Structure 1
Amino acid sequence: MRAPNGLRFDANLKWLFTEVPFEERFDAAADAGFTGVEYADPYPYPAAGLRRRLADAGLHQVLINTPVGEPGSPERAGAACLPGRTDRFRADLERGLDYAVELGSDFLHVLGGVRPPEVGHDRAFATFVGNLAWAVERARGTGVCLVLEAQNSRDAPGFLLDTQARAAAVVEALGGEGDGDGALGLLLDLYHVQVQEGDLVTTLREQLPRVRHLQIADPPDRTEPGTGEISWPRVFGTLLDAGYAGWIGCEYRPADGTVNGLSWISELAGVAR
């Protein structure tokens, strides 16, 4: 879905159109005007079946996440930072790449993982960087860009990547500024930035050269833009000034139904270029 100013938004099917079962959300998103979708967890469904739903609805797959473990398990946010779990990380990465290629997804979000209390930060971070170095090489030639996301400590306590600077340092260390297959970049979630760090526009300007994908929601309730504390015309104006042409994922909890809440796209993202 394009706003009047040209910014391009996709629907996160975990969060939007929850009024209908997951398999029906593809058509619901297309009917609402979206042309791209993302969702964290495609793995309960055969990839071929999801590909057919995308094709039938005329939708493009923008992003999926790597697999994670059961809630409450050490792998609940992935195994990337867990010492001794390299085999699990690599198997999950392989599975994620297989799905991303099958679905034609632009991005595969490699989750940073939750650091166990008994593991020091330096050890967990070194494990993460080592795993990511392997992942970047493995993804080369697939056409899939790997992305990293920092998450706020309120919603994701213990998450290894808890600041944009930390996530950006990994991207820079592994050569993610380059173009082409296997590139590594940032998934910048503006909700997480605002909750964890504030100074949103400054952070956005600093990190945009590394950003491959954006996600949005409005704090404090993680609802649609215009229902919380962020000045969205300022944010969208910053993106336009920078010439951002990528997707913006709508990863929010609708305050009053998905379709009822979509008026923000014309009202707040309708700033003239």
Structure 2
Amino acid sequence: MPRFAANLSMLYGEHGFLQRFAAAAADGFEGVEYLFPYAWAAPELSQRLRDAGLTQVLFNAPPGDWEAGERGLACLPGREAEFRAGMLQALDYAAQLGCAQIHVMAGIAPAGAAPAQLADCYRANLHWAARQAAPAGVQLLIEPLNARDFPGYFLTHQAQAHALVQELGLANLKVQMDLYHCQITEGDVAMKIRRYLPTGRVAHLQIAGVPARHEPDEGELDYRYLFAVLDDVAAQCGWRGWVGCEYRPRAATSAGLAWRRALSPAAPAERMP
């Protein structure tokens, strides 16, 4: 069964943010992730992690003006200085929180912008950021997002993300594979797990039910089968990443966690020839 991390931006909304750490630990989670830590002082978050015995698995670099609809800066020409300042802030938080992974959001493509110019900016920013993160032992992640929830987002497909990681050839640049986004955009999720995990380029997975983004026991994805596939592939290739629970609970978070036992695979999924 995968190692699950609670996404505190979505789970435990019935508690104040700082109280969500203890709530997640009480429900048996050993790791947490969330969108952004920057509204809280790093020492306060670090104390919450220690008190709850939790690992900080992942958070996002500053995305620009989130409230205005910005979803990252990495592909936006003319915003390089802001991107770099945000990355240095994220790396400072990562050091204080003991976090080994930072998600770098690509951004929304501006209307009329030349795709080649955006791609060049994206590559250059990722290259610079990975060089800054390497001495601290931090991996940077890029995540394809679906166009229904994130219209205009620059990075949308698994193949696009993997091609970029291969092209740049940076040891600490990996892919964050969200099965919710993957299903909406591309489908064929089980085969993508089988194809991409053995490459070593997938550092982190995330899950949610499709299409409503509730618990994974609801919707069109059969997570019991997918968890069996994941266990099978991980056993073959040695994958040891976390699986982030990035969904919107139907009601109180704790009451909806029965899926962790109900979806536990009883036997390995059938292997493809």
* Shorter-chain TM-score above 0.5: yes
Question: More displaced, 143-152 or 235-244?
Answer: 235-244
Q: Secondary structure at the match of 1:218?
A: coil
Q: Deviations over 1:109-154 (max 9, x none)?
A: 0001111003111111111011101111111110211111000000
**Any conservation in 1 of the 2:225–2:265 contact (CA below 8 Å)?**
no
How far, CA to CA, are the matches of 2:120 and 2:195 in structure 1?
25
AA in 2 matched with 1:258? T
C-alpha RMSD over aligned residues: 1.3
TM-score normalised to the size of structure 2? 0.93
Identity of aligned residues (%): 45
Matching of residues 192-231 of structure 1 within 5 Å:
192-208=181-197, 209=199, 210-231=201-222
1:40 aligns with 2:35: yes
Decide whether aligned partners of structure 1 residues 271 and 175 sit closer, same or farther in structure 2, where only a CA change above 3 A counts.
farther
1:108 aligns with 2:102: yes
Alignment partner, residue 231 of structure 2: 240
How far, CA to CA, are the matches of 2:206 and 2:22 in structure 1?
21
The CA deviation at 1:106 is 2.0
Matching of residues 74-153 of structure 1 within 5 Å:
76-153=70-147
Alignment partner, residue 7 of structure 2: 12
Gaps of 5+ in 2: 269-273
AA in 2 matched with 1:125? A
How far, CA to CA, are the matches of 1:204 and 1:121 in structure 2?
28
1:27 aligns with 2:14: no
Q: Secondary structure at the match of 1:141?
A: helix
How far, CA to CA, are the matches of 1:269 and 1:174 in structure 2?
37
The CA deviation at 1:73 is 4.1
Decide whether aligned partners of structure 1 residues 257 and 72 sit closer, same or farther in structure 2, where only a CA change above 3 A counts.
closer
Q: Deviations over 1:84-118 (max 9, x none)?
A: 11111111111111111110112100001111003
Q: Deviations over 1:32-69 (max 9, x none)?
A: 11111000110000001100010011111000100122
Alignment partner, residue 254 of structure 1: 249
Q: Deviations over 1:190-232 (max 9, x none)?
A: 0000001111111222221211000000111001111111011
How far, CA to CA, are the matches of 1:163 and 1:271 in structure 2?
31
How far, CA to CA, are the matches of 1:17 and 1:62 in structure 2?
17
Gaps of 5+ in 1: none
Q: Secondary structure at the match of 2:5?
A: strand
Q: Secondary structure at the match of 1:20?
A: coil
